[in-house]
Amino acid sequence: MKRLLDEVIDKRPFLKLYFDRDVTHLYLNRLLEQDELRDVTQGLNVSDFITHFSYKADIDKNTKTQKNSIINGGLRFGNAITYLDLQEENFYTPNPQQGLPASVVPQMLLTNHSLVYLNLANNNLGEPAGKIIAQSLKGNNSILYLNISGNALGDKGFEAIATALQYNNSITDLDVSNNSLSVQGARYLGIALKDNKSITYLNLKNNQLTDQGSEEIINALNKEIIVHLDISSNNIDNQAIKALAHFVKHNTSLQYLNISNNNVGKTPEFIDALKFNSSLKILHITSNSLGNEKSIKFITDMIKENSSITSLNLDNNYFGYTGAKDIAGALIINKYLTTLILKNSNFEEAGAILLAQGLEQNTTVTKLDLSNNNLQDTGFIFLANALKGNNSITHLNLSHNKIQAKGIEALSYILNSIIYLDISGNNIGVNGAVAFGEALKTNHSLTYLNLSQNQLQHQGIKSVLAALENNSSLILLDINNNNIGDTGAGHIASLLKDNKSLAILNIGSNGITQTGAAHIADLISNNLFIACIEFSGNNVTQQGANLINTALNSNSTVIKFTTYEAALSNTIFSKIVKNNQLLQEKLQDLVHEKFKSKAEEDIFKELLILIKQLQVSTEKNITPELSNAKPLIIKEYLQIIANLAKEESLKHNQAKESVISQESLISENQYIEILSNIDITGAIDYYYDWSY
């Protein structure tokens, strides 16, 4: 009987939806045959364990009809569905002849009482569909997260949705950004927010609300429940800023506030109100013209007196010499800030000297961004000297500051406490690279190092890599755009072949040709620990590509190798890891360990889900949606692969042979397609994002 069932399942794989509790995520990426469509629709109706659903086939008349059928027929009664992400999917059009009927998903909202997460962003819904969604929301009390950003809902659409929010008591997270709300639309939303007792997260970004529209909404906000508020890029000033000041001053729940790209500089009294708020932890106030004397005074007084804010982003406010002096004085007093972003502050050398005095006496700031400040060698040397005895700073961004060889030498004073270092775009040259290599030899703390755009050339890169030959801490190295050429590629191959910590390597745009490709192929063959290589922007011929492809086929650790050429041809650089059994076992072990924090525990839980999807997806139609996974998870995924290889290299290599011999659980082309959408650089930037 079991053999007969297996044969049936082999011919009709979607029958698994009826009984296989391991298949919890269903992602469809092609037009289904009629029997498959029936199995999917009926399977969704009876399944109690499908929690995630997506249909992302190429849009045409037939696939639109199928989506309509599946959503209206299957998901209407799919009571286990909790997560539905339709972002950028053209599900809604006011004219049914041009797309799916606007009533399809709203009807599902009326009958599905388990949906928790609904993302309808960037669908250009328009007013008619907005009204229907609003009607559906009135009868739905399960949705916690609703994203209707980028939908041109119009005044009438917002009037309907605002009315629905008065009846809905379940939604806690609401994103209405990028909708170009008029004053009237803002007024409707304000009326809804005044009566709503559940929304704690509100994103109003980029709606061009202006002063009047913003004031309508701000005055309606509940001062006791709003935790996260983003009102950036709305061209607000005067009365709205004063209303926001009153809200902040008397609020007891707000933890995150983004008011960037507005006109706070015209009404700096808002900053004064922050002195009285004891709940706010993260404040973004970038690009607000705060470089005037009055605003600087309010900013520095706030830094001195506020004891709750731990992350402060003041990017692009051009404080200059005066601002540097006053901020330095405030930092001596403040004992609570841990993250300080002062990018584009126009400090220059003189400002850096003053700022150094404040940082010398501050022991709480751990993450400091001083990029794009024209510090030059003199300014940075003063800064480095001031930080000699300060071991608190672990993350330092000094990119684009015209720091050259003399300044780089001073890095040795502070390098031993640094985990994250970005000195890209400084044109440190060969001499600077030699000096940095010397400082790097004794370093055992760095995990992230960005040396891109520095004209290191092959001589400079040799000095840096020689220092890293036996390094056991660095996870990411970015040396793109350094004109290292084929000789530099040879240094990479010879000096990194025995490195056992590096997981991600960016060597893009370096003038590497076919000769250098042979060196990179040697690196891939010899180093079993690097998980991702960024290679785009190099001029490699088909012969060089074949050499790298052959090396990738013998290496089970590299799961992503990116080139512009690879984007044009699925046959180049196609080897990736499949079903790494060792990784799955290790992740299972990690789940039972004690975690340092709830956030860490959540990361590993999501990783387990990710790996389980790889495990149970036994046909090409049921595939893991890795391209939509959180960048943080992708970063952790890469890092854990590297760590596993480091800790258990022998066992890993034994497992590799058995894995390669197995029949692919998911077609290789699909893996390539999914993984090619992951922006590895973006993933790392997200992981190291200091602002959240």
Question: Which string of DSSP letters, residue by residue, matches 145-181?
Answer: EEE--S---HHHHHHHHHHHHHH-----EEE--SS--
The share of the chain scoring above pLDDT 70, in percent, equals 70
Averaged pLDDT for residues 635-640: 46
Write the CA distances from 485 to 200, 420, 426, 481, 505, integer angstroms.
Answer: 53, 26, 19, 10, 16
Q: How far apart are CA 283 and CA 264, in angstroms?
A: 13
- How many Cβ atoms are within 10 Å of 158's Cβ, its own excluded? 27
Write the CA distances from 159 to 153, 175, 213, 291, integer angstroms.
Answer: 9, 16, 14, 39
Residue 262: per-residue pLDDT: 94
Residue burial 401-435, b: 16+ Cβ < 10 Å; e: rest = bbbbbbbbbbbbbbbeebbbbbbbbbebbbbbbbb
Q: Tell me the whole-structure pTM to 2 decimals.
A: 0.79
Determine contact, residues 451/425, Cβ cutoff 8 Å. Answer: no
Write the CA distances from 583 to 165, 229, 578, 648, integer angstroms.
Answer: 45, 39, 11, 11
Is it the case that residue 203 has pLDDT exceeding 60?
yes
115 burial (CB, 10 Å; 0-12 / 13-18 / 19+) is buried
Please list the residues that pair with 174 across neighbouring strands. 146, 202
Residue 168: per-residue pLDDT: 84
Residue 327: per-residue pLDDT: 97
- How many Cβ atoms are within 10 Å of 470's Cβ, its own excluded? 11
pLDDT category of residue 528 using cuts at 50, 70 and 90: confident
Long-range contacts of 266-269 (CB under 8 A, 24+ apart): 266/237, 266/238, 266/241, 267/237, 267/238, 267/241, 267/242, 268/292, 268/294, 268/295, 268/298, 268/299, 269/241, 269/242, 269/245, 269/298
The 10s digit of each residue's pLDDT in 639-692 is 444 444 333 333 333 332 222 222 222 333 333 333 333 344 444 444 445 554
Which residues, in sequence order, are CB contacts of 491 under 8 Å at separation 6+? Answer: 458, 461, 462, 465, 484
Residue 598: per-residue pLDDT: 58
Residue 660: per-residue pLDDT: 26
Residue burial 673-683, b: 16+ Cβ < 10 Å; e: rest = ebbeebebbeb
DSSP state of 506: E
Q: Is the dihedral of CA 56, 60, 66, 72 positive or negative?
A: positive
Q: How far apart are CA 360 and CA 370, in angstroms?
A: 15
The 10s digit of each residue's pLDDT in 227-268 is 999 999 998 988 999 999 999 999 999 999 999 999 998 888
Residue 54: per-residue pLDDT: 72
Residue 131: per-residue pLDDT: 80
pLDDT category of residue 201 using cuts at 50, 70 and 90: very high
- CA nearest to 232, candidates 682, 691, 629: 691
- The pLDDT mean for the chain works out to 76
Q: How far apart are CA 415 and CA 435, in angstroms?
A: 13
Q: How far apart are CA 272 and CA 295, in angstroms?
A: 9
Determine contact, residues 121/175, Cβ cutoff 8 Å. Answer: yes
Residue 570: per-residue pLDDT: 27
Residue 106: per-residue pLDDT: 62
The 10s digit of each residue's pLDDT in 404-432 is 999 999 988 888 889 899 999 998 999 99
> Which is more confident, 402 or 622?
402
Q: Helix 514-526 to helix 485-496 angle, to the nearest 10 degrees?
A: 10
- CA nearest to 264, candidates 243, 290, 302: 290
The 10s digit of each residue's pLDDT in 343-400 is 999 999 999 999 999 999 999 999 999 999 999 999 999 999 998 878 899 999 999 9
Is it the case that residue 49 has pLDDT exceeding 50?
yes
Q: How far apart are CA 257 and CA 246, in angstroms?
A: 14
Q: Which of 125-129, 510-514, 562-566, 589-593 has the highest mean pLDDT?
A: 510-514
In this structure, what are the phi and psi dihedrals at residue 268, rounded to the nearest 5 degrees?
A: -70, -5
Is it the case that residue 537 has pLDDT exceeding 60?
yes
Containing 84, the helix (H) or strand (E) segment is: strand 83-85
- CA nearest to 334, candidates 361, 314, 352: 361
Which residues, in sequence order, are CB contacts of 423 under 8 Å at separation 6+? Answer: 398, 399, 403, 408, 411, 436, 450, 451, 454
Q: How far apart are CA 594 and CA 67, in angstroms?
A: 43
Averaged pLDDT for residues 437-446: 89
Averaged pLDDT for residues 196-201: 90
* Radius of gyration in angstroms for the set of CA atoms belonging to the chain, rounded to a whole number: 27
Write the CA distances from 295 to 259, 317, 458, integer angstroms.
Answer: 15, 10, 47
> Which is more confident, 219 or 108?
219
Q: How far apart are CA 96 and CA 580, in angstroms?
A: 46
Is it the case that residue 565 has pLDDT exceeding 70?
no
Find the range with the poorest average confidence among 40-44, 117-121, 613-617: 613-617
Residue 320: per-residue pLDDT: 96
Question: Residue 518 corresponds to which amino acid?
Answer: A
